[in-house]
Every structure is written in structure tokens, then in C-alpha cells.
Amino acid sequence: MSSPSCPVVNGGFQGDDSAEPPHIISSQPSAGNEFMRITTAYPNLSSTGCTAKFCQSGRMKHTDEERVGRNQPLDAIEKDAVDFLHQLRQAGMIDSEQALKKRIQYVIKEIKTNSVTARYNACNGVGSDSVRTPTVGIVGGNWSQTSQELEFGIRLAWKHSRKCIMRSEYKDLRLCDLRHITTSSAMAKELIANAQVAFNHGEIRPTVFVFPPRRPNERGPMIWNPQLFSFAGYAEDNNDILGDPMNVELTKAIIELGWKPPRVRTKWDMLPLVTMAQGEDPVITEIPKDIFPCVPIQHPRYRLAFDKLGLRWVPSPALSRLGFTIGGVQWTPGSDLLPDTASPFMGWFMDAEIGVRNLADTFRYNVLPQIIKQLGLFNGELDSLPDFERLALLSRAQLELNFAVSYSFAKAQVRMIDSLSASEVFSRFDDEHLAENGYRLPSDPYWLAPPQGSIIPLWHRGASPNFQPKPMICHHVQDPIKTWRRENGQSDIEISHESQLNIRLEVDSAPSVVRRRRLSVAFCSSGTVASKLCKKLQTLLCHAARTRPDFGCVMPIQTLNALKKSKLRPDDVLVVIASNTRQGEMPQNGQEFAHGLETDKFSVKCSFAIFGNGSRDYADTFNHTAINLDRALRIGGAASLFDPVFADTAVESPPWRIFDSFCEKLLESLTGVCRGPRNTLPQPAPLRSPAEPLLDTASWFRAHIQHVIGGVSEQGIKRVQLDIGSRTYATMSYLSLLPPNAESTVQALLSNLNIKPDERLHFASGITVEEFFRFYADLKQPFKTFDWAAEIPFQGAAVPEELMTLPILEAVAGLPTNWQHWAALENLCCAVPRIQPRKYSIASCPSYSGNSGRKGCELELLVQQHAGGRFSDIFLSMTQISSTLTCKIERATHLESMAGATDRPLIIFATGSGVAPVRGLLQHRTELVRQKGAVGNSKTPYPHAPITLFSGFKAEDQPLVREALADAEQLGLFDLLRLMPSNLEKRRAQDMVFEEGLGLKLVEKIQDNALVFVCAKPEAESDFCGNLSALLGRDVKDALGERYIADIYQPAV
């Protein structure tokens, strides 16, 4: 009976050579002749694992392939040693047959001397038919190879590597002989020092670092890292992975060993090196970033788009878990600046390894969807497109990424080869080998051809033989982490299985897999309060999920627009935190979701709960966003867990107390368990209550205009100085103000109503009716309701429709002169809409004693002018000195603490009038310097933590901005100051973070516990946040938590 064999050997290619493209394969010998020449040249071939029934060419590891780390019987070691010595003789390394005979005798004697009786697995059969039988017998020992013999062996092993495209360079492979290193710490030290030499400032010299060989019954020296340079992968509580998914288990193991990741974890954290010498514990050694800097991935045509992606990669592939079998001796190299798993011997990257695989694979960094969005190719969900459109977009993104990778490595002067050149080099090398030897190089076409497909000529070379000569590169049979744990009596408790990434995943021991409900937390907001509330809620939900297996799976926090509606199932739960704009409109990051519900573009059938975050200062639109979302979700078929809960930030901001009550109620609903007596918290009055809330005027006061400076253009910034009397304020507080009605308008209104100006209004804290209409009533709007006029005998009995839409001044002109016989003044006033407050950041510090000689009872604002704006344009244009405003000071505790944190670095981004709180902060810091006499300058900076400032503004506002920064700049408070006036090129302040060398400095400051303060419009804040996230390597808000402080503003007109 014949032994099983590969179908190719049985004639799969015989007589079929003409099928190969003649322009690709020339002078191809018949398969039979080629195989005969191969077996003559290599009588000691290793198995490829193929049989007559199964081919294993598509498998990463073949079932019976040779591995280092196993005991081998004596006869196998002797056979490999003799075969290798004959190859040395054939290459002229041994100069005569007599010398060869003498060397063989010496080596065989040394092998037998070092042999021991031990257990090994005897292998019978080939490939899928192979059976390993535990056997006790004589296990072959090692023999001493000279440095010349060893270097020749590793070069041959590279040449014989079937999966590598760069074998033409095998003669340049260098040996770094570290066989004298026997301790874990010395392994790391020597590896890093010699790797620096091999890296050669980017002009990489392919090098192998060889430590002592493995002896029988020993594991030998090992390195935990599969690659010398690799990024950490962190498994987060919400089931996301931050960093490289390939390294999740490795990262976890290194942390357990004692490694402390950076203060702020990112997707680009370089893992330390973990070395483990024979008989020693592992040692952790950080890899110097300055010696092996990562290469930022940039694109010459889409520079800003790729900057905003923040992509990078390690400078060289350096596998550290592969080994060599050379003449029967098992070498476990510390590292080789050569291979990756797709092409085992390569001294430098091929572009596609990074651009097509590492960064693009869906189970690695999966950046292609992000590239599609950044390039503006498509902004929706890719899965919603037909497959052919999705493929076209992904292909375009892959093309641009691969081009960017090649460009970036060339710019960084780090050696790399492109796929086309690598293919041509290998094809030429293979053809020369065929012409010289009569057979082609061993090739595994599945792995050898670059992933771009048929546009690469190598893809067509399907007639190359797949065989495995020795010496060869091998995988290690032992996992170093598991080996160390066994040596220390540890074991894995979790039931787990291997995924395609070799990531250990927990498996439910239940007999069947039941889909767990998903709990999604989403928000819509133009500020940061909603996202803070979301983070607190998610922490509570994750804790519940860990303690109750049936609770569900908590998904990452998203905006409503980003929510993947199609993945919500009826048993899922959606929790929405909805903030209000002043006008009651849906915030931008929720508008798409709301519009989709209202227009029936999609429906959401899950359960939901809503927390509304509004303010009674805007009574007419209080929590409209939450109300509209609740109505739209119910109409669309979603089931409400309970009625919306509404917060009033005029009472508490952020509204932690009422939010705690909401969270408690939500957890009770989700678990069905009452958590004990609930805190009795003051709920705001029902939204549709007919009773209008009382007008609280006690917190409002009168302020007088002192000066108005600037505002030369229609949209310029004006500096407004107010006299606030004896009141004071904290640095970086807010001022809410009510632009008054013109006195002549009020007098006309009082005349039309035929009422006395000094009549008191009880619902408005006893102020006079004249004060109410002058300072609180919005006379440009119609009445909110005419219920108060129901008894007035109009012609036709009912209130005329035209009165319902007219401004109040015009509407009251249509009332009978004796209207008070049938209606009450109090009820009429309750139906009058209130002036919407304009909220501004205070642009001054009460203790500042600058050149202006301003007193502590004065306060300054920076007001962006808007054409037609009631306050910024109309009022300020017509105002006279000492004109009166109704104001209210509101403390911003989250900003006050930042103002006092002089010991922490500060990164600030401000645009337009957003420089106002920055001005107040800088005045506060300036005053501290002057009080302490600690004056610095650009060479001797301010002794406390410095400030980095990026500011954008209109060109005409430059004098006001410069004035705001002048004292601080003179005193050396800034370590970095970048100003960007408006310009024709449309360059933006937030993009200045990508200037050469700035990114690293900003990341270092963030890792040094810096605070980040942003005061800008929503679009600019979002863009700056994205830019900073790209530099950092993770969402900066998520990373910094309370250290990221955003004061987002909308135009206050």
C-alpha cells in the first residue's frame, strides 16, 4: 500500500505547464523533473503536512510541522546534523571530504555525549494522518556550532522560508551571537542595545539575535512578546478593545506581571519587553521610544485628513517567538529584525503588511471606515450600502492608506519596500535560482503573494513547488506565558476557547447560547453635562452587569446620531440623556436621530428611558428635547420603562441629586428589585401644568453699562464693562442678562392697557408692573395664551385670531379700554413670555489690578456681535453710558477649581468670544504672579505649571485678543502660544496641534496630569476634541474624565 502523498506530487501539475501565463513563468520544467532535482538537493525534507486527501497550505500552522521546544529522538538529531554538515561542505564552508568526515565524527560524538533518556513524541504518518505517540527513549543532545556555521544556518533558513517574499536578501543576514547571555535582565539589555545597531537609524540591517540553544527537557530562553515592537491591547468594561486586539491577552499578562501602563492608556502604548532566560523568572524592560520611534502615517494629498486619524506604526517588524532548527539544534532567537507571520524573514516592512493588514484588518485596527469618513467619501453606515458600493469605498480607502504608509516611511527615512517592487525582486531571484539549479525556490503561494491580488505579478506564479528544506524557521511549541505560569503553579481558571486572533474569550458554561440584552446609553447635547451624566450611568450599569449575569451587556456611550438603530432589538434597552438648547431645539448630535423617527425612516422597538436636562430660566422651552424624543419613540413603537425625569439646572448644575434618583429608578426597573427607600428629591413641576411657575426676581440685580469698546465689524467682538455695585464674583463665573425693552415702548404699552405703572405683581415677587414690562417681559412675542381674556366681550364673542399672533404691544391695542372688568392684570402678565436670558462668561477677574485701573465692583464681558441681535447688536448699538441691565451672576464651580490649579499644566483652546473666560483666568494668574513677585519671561518662565493656548478669531478682533493675552505673555505664563486669525486659506486654530513636534508635547502634558479647557462653539470643540484624540490615541474626553473641561457656547444674540 502506497503512503499518502500530496495531490501535486501525484501529477497535479504534470503536463499542465502550458496553463501558466507565458509572460510570467518561463522555461518551467516538468513537475516530475523538478521534484526529482529538489529531492536530490534536499534529501532530508521536512513535512508540509499535505496528504492525498488534505492540503494545509492555507493554514498558519500545519498539524505536523516541526517546532522548536520539543525533545527529538537521537537518530533524528544525528540525521539533521549530518545533512547540515553536507550543506556546509557543498557551500565550501568545509574545504574537503576528509574535513567533512572528521567534523561529522566529532559532532555525532558530541550529540551522543549530550543525549539523555527522556520522554518525546514519536510521530507516525503525515499531515492530517499523523499520530504522536508518547515514548521514552534516547533524546538527542546539542552540538556546538561555530559562529560561521550558525550564521550560514540562519541564512539558509531564511532562504528556505516558503512564506517570505524578501529572501533575495538572505546573504546579507547578520548574526548577533548572544549565546553567552544566561540571565533575563541581560537578555533584554543586549537585545535593545544590539537592536539599535541593527535598526541603524532606519537603514535596517537584517539581523538575528541568538541566545543559548534549548537543551533536552528544558524550555530554553523565551520572550513573551511575539514581536519586539508592538502595541498594547486593553479590554475595557464595555467590551471594547483599546489598542491592538492581537495583544489583549499578552497585555493582561504583562500587567499581572507588574507592568504599569501610562497614566492615560491609549491605542498606541508600546508594550515593554518581557524576557525569560532558562531557569529564571521573567523581567520587564521598557523599550526606549526615542531609539525606535513610531512612524506617523501621513498623506501628501490628504495631510489634514490623515492627521485627524492619528495613525502610526512601529518602525520595524521584529518577531521574537520564532525559532530555528539548524542541524538538529533548536535555537530560540531573542528577536530577528526580519519577519512577521505573513513573510517570516524580512528585514523591513512591506507596505501591505501595515496598510492592508495591520491597520486595515477588521480584527485589528479596522481603520478603513474612519478613512472613508475623513476623506468625505461617505458619512453614513457602510453596512447600509449595497456590497458592491461598500467594496468600492473600502478599496479606495485601502489604496490611500497603503500609499500613505509608503510615503510616511520614506519621509521618516525608515527602510520599507512596496508590494510591486518586492514581487519583482522575488520573481527575479526565483528565476535566477531556477536557471542555476533546475528547480524553483520553496514557495507557499497563499502566503507569498501580497494581498493586493492579480495586479501584483507574483500572484500569477502558481507553478512554484511548495516544499520545506532544512535548516528552517519554526514556531515554538510552548507559549512562554503559559509555560511561566505552569512553572509557578498557576493555571487558567476561566473556561476559554481560541478565537481567530488567539484571544482568550470567556465562554458561558450553559448548554445553549442565549443572546443577552444590550443596554445602550446615548445622549444629545451641545455641552458636556450630558456626557458626564452618561459616564456615571454607564459605570453603574457596568457594575450591575458584572454582579448579575442576566442583567445584560452594556454598550459604549454614543451620541443619538451615532447610535446604530438597526442593531436594537425588542429586548434591548435604550437610555437617553437629552439636554435642551435655549430655544428648545434638538442639539445637532441628536437631530438626525429625531428626524429619522419623525419621518419614519426607521423605527426603534426596544424599551427606553429618558432623562431631560433643562433649565427653568428658559421656561417656555423647558426640556422640550426630552419631551419630543419621548413622544417620537412612543409613536415609533418603543416601550417606555417609565415617564421621563426632568432636571432643572437652574436649581442644580450638574443635576446630580435628581440624576441619582433617575439611576436608582432605572436599575429597579431593569432588575425588578427595589433598592430600598428612595431619596425624596424635589422633582420639577409637571411640564404641562396649567399653573405658571412664579417669577423669582430675587437673584436678579441691576447693572450699569460703563464702556463698550471694539466691534468695528458686523460680527466683531465688543468689550463691555459693567458696574455691578457692591457685588463680587468668582473668577470664570457666568453672567446671565436680560436685554431691557425701550422705555418708550413700555410707556406706550402701559397707556394702551390703561394701568398704573407702580401696581405690584404678586406672582413676580412684588415688583411693579412697569418693572415687569421693562426688564422681564418679551414684548416682541405674542401672548402664550389668551385664556386670561376668555370673558372679554370681543365682537363675535371669541378672541380675534389676529390678536393671537401679533406682538404684545400691538395685541393689547385691540383690547377694550375697560378690559379689566373681565380679566385680571396678574393673569395677563402670566401669559406674557419672558425675555430669554443671554448667558456670557465673565471676561475679568475681581482681584485684577491691571493698567485700566478697574475696580473690583466692575465686571467685563466679551460679546460677539450678531446682526439684529437683541443685546449684541441693537441694545449695545443704542446704549448710553449708565444704561441699565438686569443681571444674575452664576458660579461655575468646575471652572473655579481649574483657575486655582496652578500646579497642573493647562491646555486651552478658545475661539471667538470664547477667549472671555480665558481672559479672566489669565488675569487671575497674572495677579497671583504679581502678588508673589514671581515674574518670569520667555527664558525664565512662570514658576508654576505653564499654559498652552490655541486661539482662533476673526482678523478684526486681533487687538482685543492680543490685549487679553498681553500681560500673561509678558510674564511668561505660556510655554506655547498659537494664534490663528481668520484667513483666506481657511486654516483653523484647532488644526495647529498637528504642527511638527507639537503633538508629542501635548501628549506628554496630558500624561503629566494636565487639564484641558475648551471654550468654543460645538463644531469647533468637537473638531479640537477629535484632533487631540488623534494625537493621544484614544477619546480624550473618555481618557481625561473630569480633567477635560468644555464650556461650549452658542451665539447669544
Residue 987: all three cell numbers together: 486654516
Distance CA 991, CA 985 (A): 13
Alpha carbon distances (Å) from 627 to 631, 633, 634, 831: 6, 10, 11, 22
Write down the pLDDT at residue 491: 54
Q: Phi then psi for 31, rounded to 5 degrees?
A: -60, -40
- Cβ-count burial of 124 within 10 angstroms (0-12 exposed, 13-18 middle, 19+ buried)? exposed
pTM summary value? 0.78
Distance CA 678, CA 192 (A): 60
Write down the pLDDT at residue 856: 53
3-class state of residue 513 by DSSP: coil
Judging by DSSP bridges, how do beta strands 573-579 and 518-524 pair with one another? parallel
Q: Phi then psi for 758, rounded to 5 degrees?
A: -100, 10
Residue bearing cell 505560569: 485
Write down the pLDDT at residue 333: 52
The identity of residue 968, as a single letter, is A
Write down the pLDDT at residue 214: 86
Contact 779, 807 (CB under 8 A): yes
**Half-sphere exposure at residue 959, Cβ-oriented, CA atoms within 13 angstroms:** 9
Sign of the torsion formed by the C-alpha atoms of 811, 817, 821 and 822: negative
Task: Give the other-Cβ count within 10 Å of 413's Cβ.
Answer: 10
Distance CA 356, CA 401 (A): 8
Task: Give the other-Cβ count within 10 Å of 666's Cβ.
Answer: 22
3-class state of residue 307 by DSSP: helix
- Cβ-count burial of 503 within 10 angstroms (0-12 exposed, 13-18 middle, 19+ buried)? buried
Residue bearing cell 493554514: 59
- What are the helix (H) ranges across 353-462? 368-374, 387-411, 419-437, 445-448
Residue 83: all three cell numbers together: 545533512
Contact 246, 340 (CB under 8 A): no
Contact 120, 139 (CB under 8 A): yes
Contact 948, 1002 (CB under 8 A): yes
Write down the pLDDT at residue 729: 92
Contact 908, 950 (CB under 8 A): yes
Q: Which tens digit of pLDDT belongs to each residue from 902-924?
A: 889 999 999 999 999 999 999 99
Distance CA 629, CA 635 (A): 10
Length of the chain in terms of residues written? 1053
Rounded to 10°, the helix 624-635/588-598 angle is: 30
Contact 157, 471 (CB under 8 A): yes
Distance CA 408, CA 410 (A): 5
3-class state of residue 979 by DSSP: strand
Contact 767, 697 (CB under 8 A): yes
Residue 266's closest CA among 1048, 1042, 1028? 1028
- What are the helix (H) ranges across 795-875? 801-805, 808-812, 825-830
Q: How far is CA 639 from the centre of its chain?
A: 33
Contact 214, 67 (CB under 8 A): no
Strands (E), 108-201: 116-124, 131-139, 174-177
3-class state of residue 638 by DSSP: coil
Chunked in runs of 10, what are the mean pLDDT values of the chain (1053 residues)? 42 41 57 88 87 77 78 90 94 94 95 91 74 86 93 93 88 92 94 92 91 88 91 87 95 95 95 94 93 95 97 92 85 48 54 94 95 94 86 95 97 94 90 91 82 77 82 85 84 35 32 63 86 87 79 86 81 91 78 83 85 82 88 87 89 85 91 47 36 72 89 79 91 93 93 92 90 94 90 76 87 89 92 91 87 66 88 82 87 83 93 94 90 57 81 93 93 94 94 94 94 94 95 92 87 60
DSSP-derived secondary structure letter, 219? -
Distance CA 367, CA 841 (A): 39
Write down the pLDDT at residue 711: 65
Contact 339, 319 (CB under 8 A): yes
Q: Which tens digit of pLDDT belongs to each residue from 199-239?
A: 999 999 999 999 998 888 888 899 999 889 999 999 987 77
Distance CA 993, CA 995 (A): 6
Q: Return the ∠ at Cα 837 (arms to 836 and 839), rounded to 5°.
A: 140
Contact 703, 885 (CB under 8 A): yes
**Half-sphere exposure at residue 970, Cβ-oriented, CA atoms within 13 angstroms:** 11
Phi-psi category of 584—alpha, beta or left, where left has phi over 0 and alpha has psi -120 to 50?
left
Domain annotation for the chain: domains and CATH numbers:
522-671 (3.40.50.360), 701-840 (1.20.990.10), 894-1046 (3.40.50.80)
Sign of the torsion formed by the C-alpha atoms of 495, 497, 502 and 506: negative
Distance CA 646, CA 483 (A): 57
Residue 302: all three cell numbers together: 490628504
Contact 578, 646 (CB under 8 A): no
List CB contacts of 87: < 8 A, sequence separation 6 or more. 156
Write down the pLDDT at residue 675: 40
Alpha carbon distances (Å) from 767 to 373, 650, 840: 56, 21, 25
Q: DSSP labels for 469-509?
A: -SSEEEEESS-HHHHHHHHTT----S-EEE-TT--EEE---
Alpha carbon distances (Å) from 468 to 90, 967, 996: 19, 74, 48
Write down the pLDDT at residue 488: 83
Contact 443, 162 (CB under 8 A): yes
* Nearest-10 Cα torsion for 12, 18, 21, 22: 140
Distance CA 401, CA 942 (A): 43
Sign of the torsion formed by the C-alpha atoms of 702, 707, 708 and 709: negative
Rounded to 10°, the helix 958-970/915-932 angle is: 30
Rounded to 10°, the helix 893-900/915-932 angle is: 40
- What are the helix (H) ranges across 754-807? 769-771, 801-805
Residue 511: all three cell numbers together: 448548554
Expressed in angstroms, the distance from the first to the final Cα of the chain is 94
Residue 74: all three cell numbers together: 537521537
Residue 714: all three cell numbers together: 458686523
Residue 746: all three cell numbers together: 413700555
Task: Give the other-Cβ count within 10 Å of 372's Cβ.
Answer: 20
Task: Give the other-Cβ count within 10 Å of 878's Cβ.
Answer: 9
